[in-house]
């Protein structure tokens, strides 16, 4: 009967109950839905960062990361490759690369970019480039003069498929290395900056152009689950000589993304708090109104022998019902909204140039994390009950005579 009393009391003034419940529903919906969008942004940033060329783990010659010149390349990668074959999980994929800053020229334009020499077959399983060619064709392993460039670079250089681009860089002997490549394919990437930044040739062509022999700049590793990156990297660090090589995870390779992710974690919880504060005033106000409307009744409860603590419990139970109903509906709507956008996402193309600065995609897909839903609901429930304590205590403090004298 105790619960029945609380349940019936919240429906004594249905309009007021619906108004406050709507506030809770909107609050919970906003927490879950906008939280999922933020998670989507951060997940996309990680995905973009990893898929672009980072991978989950990279191995470099010690010193390359501080000074990424061609002299700091891995000169004997075979030993590392043999260790990878032995110690990496069977579902992991890896790809060796040559990577060098270069200047691209054609008759009309010139500009700086990163020239990447790849093993086409291995690279297709590691980075985005295997699936990104939209015009022309992907590279063959033996292609000495073929190059794949981004659509944005093609536009910038006013060139097209089949035309030549000349690349200049510095070789291992510190001489200017120069070579012309023909555009075999054009790729599209999630971010326009990627299309302008990278041009892909075969590893053999890069080694020849830069007089690198069998040397490479890095090995990029892709695991089945990015959460395993730390443990796999730790295992590799035990077998790969640390004085010659550096093994780093995506968190170390993408410090900006890592920092943004950390910031998002906190931002989501601050967001929850901000929403709750707005909602909290509504809750306190409504419960307070309900309490003052029923002061005579609380006086009666006291007169009949109900202890003050029971009155607090009674008011808090009413809040609990209100909050729980709002939470159930709000969470349901939040999940429905997320489901509705799961395939299409939200297109932010109009803002894409600004967003790309921090590695965000043009389209944001919401990502559900159970922990966020639980935390959002807990914030509403725990803080909602906490703010309801004020009117509840107020209701319990009236003496029976004082309360029953109220009209």
- Residues that bind another protein in the complex, under the rule CB under 8 A: 1-2, 4-5, 8-9, 12, 296-297, 300, 302-308, 310, 399-401, 404
Q: What angle do CA 75, 79, 80 make, to 5 degrees?
A: 85
Name the residue nearer to another protein (CB basis): 9 or 207.
Answer: 9
**Residue 385 CB, nearest approach to another protein (Å):** 22
**Residue 307 CB, nearest approach to another protein (Å):** 5
**Residue 24 CB, nearest approach to another protein (Å):** 22
Name the residue nearer to another protein (CB basis): 11 or 281.
Answer: 11
Name the residue nearer to another protein (CB basis): 386 or 401.
Answer: 401
Q: Using the CB atoms, write b or e for 219-254: b if 16+ within 10 Å.
A: bbbbbeebebbeebbeebeeebeeeebbbbbbbebb
- Tokens representing residue 132 in the block: 């990104």
**Residue 303 CB, nearest approach to another protein (Å):** 5
Name the residue nearer to another protein (CB basis): 2 or 145.
Answer: 2
Name the residue nearer to another protein (CB basis): 16 or 164.
Answer: 16
**Residue 390 CB, nearest approach to another protein (Å):** 20
Q: Dihedral angle at the C-alpha atoms of 239, 245, 250, 252, nearest 10 degrees?
A: 120
Packed helices 308-340 and 370-397: angle between N→C axes, nearest 10 degrees: 150
Name the residue nearer to another protein (CB basis): 245 or 398.
Answer: 398
**Residue 309 CB, nearest approach to another protein (Å):** 9
Q: Give the DSSP H or E segment for 164.
A: strand 164-170
Residue 379: closest CA among 331, 308, 310:
331
Which position has the token pair 């590793």?
221
Q: Is 28 left (phi over 0), alpha (psi -120 to 50) or beta?
A: alpha
């Amino acid at each position: 009967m105790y619960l029945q009393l609380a349940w019936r009391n919240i429906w004594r003034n249905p309009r007021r109950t619906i108004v406050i419940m709507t506030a809770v529903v909107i609050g919970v919906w906003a927490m879950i839905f906008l939280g999922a969008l933020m998670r989507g942004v951060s997940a996309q940033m990680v995905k973009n960062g990893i898929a672009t060329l980072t991978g989950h783990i990279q191995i470099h010659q010690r010193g390359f990361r501080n000074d990424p010149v061609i002299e700091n390349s891995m000169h004997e990668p075979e030993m590392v490759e043999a260790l990878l074959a032995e110690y990496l999980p069977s579902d992991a994929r890896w790809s060796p690369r040559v990577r060098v800053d270069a200047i691209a020229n054609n008759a009309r334009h010139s500009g700086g970019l990163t020239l990447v020499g790849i093993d086409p077959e291995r690279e297709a399983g590691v980075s985005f480039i295997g699936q990104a060619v939209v015009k022309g064709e992907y590279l063959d392993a033996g292609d000495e003069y073929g190059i794949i460039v981004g659509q944005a670079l093609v536009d910038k250089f006013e060139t097209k498929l089949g035309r030549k681009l000349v690349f200049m860089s510095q070789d291992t002997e510190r001489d200017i290395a120069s070579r012309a490549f023909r555009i075999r394919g054009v790729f599209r990437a999630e971010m326009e900056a990627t299309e302008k930044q990278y041009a892909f040739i075969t590893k053999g062509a890069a080694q020849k152009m830069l007089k690198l022999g069998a040397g490479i700049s890095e090995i990029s590793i892709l695991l089945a689950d990015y959460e395993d990156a730390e443990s796999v990297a730790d295992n590799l660090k035990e077998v790969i000589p640390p004085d010659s090589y550096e093994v780093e995870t995506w968190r170390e390779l993408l410090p900006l993304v890592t920092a943004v992710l950390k910031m998002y974690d906190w931002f989501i919880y601050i967001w929850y708090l901000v929403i709750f504060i707005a909602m909290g005033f509504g809750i306190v106000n409504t419960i307070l109104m309900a309490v003052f409307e029923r002061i005579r009744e609380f006086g009666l409860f006291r007169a009949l022998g109900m202890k003050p603590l029971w009155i607090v419990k009674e008011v808090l139970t009413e809040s609990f019902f209100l909050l729980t109903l709002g939470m159930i509906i709000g969470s349901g709507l939040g999940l429905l909204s997320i489901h509705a956008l799961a395939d299409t996402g939200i297109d932010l193309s109009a803002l894409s140039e600004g967003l790309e600065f921090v590695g965000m995609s043009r389209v944001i897909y919401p990502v559900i994390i159970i922990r966020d839903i639980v935390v959002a609901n807990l914030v509403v429930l725990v803080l909602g009950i906490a703010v309801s304590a004020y009117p509840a205590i107020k209701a319990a403090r009236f003496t029976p005579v004082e309360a029953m004298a109220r009209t």
